[in-house]
Amino acid sequence: MYFSIIIIIFLLLFLIVSGTCRRRWAIKKVCSMSCSDKCELFNSLLEPFGYCYNPSQDIISSRNDAWQRNAGYTALFDRTAAYFNMVFDYLPIYFNYDEKTWLIEIWKGQYGINTGSEVGIYYADRILSEKELPTAHFQAVDDCDMLPVSMTLSKEKNLLARVAKKTWWLTAFCMGQFSKPSQLFLNVSICFTDCDMMHHFLNALRKTGLPEECIQICGHKITFPFGGYIRHPYSLWQRIVRAWAQFWNRIFCKIFLFITRCFTLTLDRMLYLYYLLPFAFRKMLRPRKYRKKYMCH
């Protein structure tokens, strides 16, 4: 019995010492790298997950060639997101143009340990009826149909991110930040190909109940806000699932910040995790992994 206790004590001491040594090695490894080397390594690690790092704002954003493009979109993603620790407000805007039903959807909320926002541009291969919209599958638009999009994400008047590019999917994720969707405010601008497309989108946007005075039009560009509390017909069970997901999201945020407390930038925190806990690093980069699940069905 005493021999077993001694063995357990030695094992615990070994784990503590080896863990401390590995932690010191990981810190030294990150600190010895130049900023350009860190960015190059981090982007190479992010690329398979469909993301890239923005050093000027210390945020993670999506790539136009991300694998998520093949998944497209269906409303099922939004209905099941909370089961994957994603709790967000969303605004789908459907409109018909060029013999297709288009969907431009806006998201803002908590994606695991990330506070973030998204703007996605999709279309169906034909005109869909109202009844088909909740179950239809939309594909991401082709390169020739991508639109210039910009968005500014704020949390209680504090700027979190400002991104812009011609794309099918614009995102911004602030790692280690916890937020309630109602705390976030998103300002979105979309530049359309022509007046006809812009007017079709504008009419659809008005149907969402957004006040007319909140919509700004300049040429083919429309700018509008997406903020505050958004009401959705969630059942009691869905509200419980969302609350449970947010409970764990808050805890995971605190754990992430505690483990990486020796650094302040997302770049350094994530590279530290990459060297210290590779499995945890991979886990951090899958806020949309549920799409892959449904692609296989």
Average pLDDT by stretches of 10, the chain with 297 residues:
41 48 87 95 92 96 95 92 94 96 97 95 96 95 97 95 97 96 96 96 93 92 85 84 96 91 94 83 57 45
Question: In the chain, where do the E strands start and end?
Answer: 51-54, 59-62, 86-97, 100-111, 114-123, 139-140, 147-155, 158-167, 169-175, 184-191, 216-218, 221-227
| Cα 290 to Cα 84: distance, rounded to the nearest angstrom | 7
Q: What is the pLDDT of residue 4?
A: 40
Q: Which are the contacts of 281, defined by CB distance < 8 A and separation ≥ 6?
A: 45, 270, 273, 274
Q: What is the pLDDT of residue 14?
A: 42
Q: What is the pLDDT of residue 24?
A: 87
Q: What is the pLDDT of residue 157?
A: 85
Q: What is the pLDDT of residue 177?
A: 96
Q: What is the pLDDT of residue 276?
A: 84
- Tokens linked to 106: 């806006």
Q: Which are the contacts of 150, defined by CB distance < 8 A and separation ≥ 6?
A: 162, 163, 164, 165, 170, 188, 189
Measure the CA angle with vertex 226, ends 58 and 137; round to 5°. Answer: 90
- Tokens linked to 202: 């504008």
| Cα 100 to Cα 126: distance, rounded to the nearest angstrom | 4
Helix 35-46 with 266-276: angle, nearest 10 deg: 70
Residue pointed to by tokens 């925190």 = 269
Q: What is the pLDDT of residue 54?
A: 96
- Tokens linked to 102: 């288009």
149 DSSP 8-state letter? E
Q: What is the pLDDT of residue 182?
A: 92
Tell me the CB-side half-sphere exposure of residue 104, using CA atoms within 13 A. 27
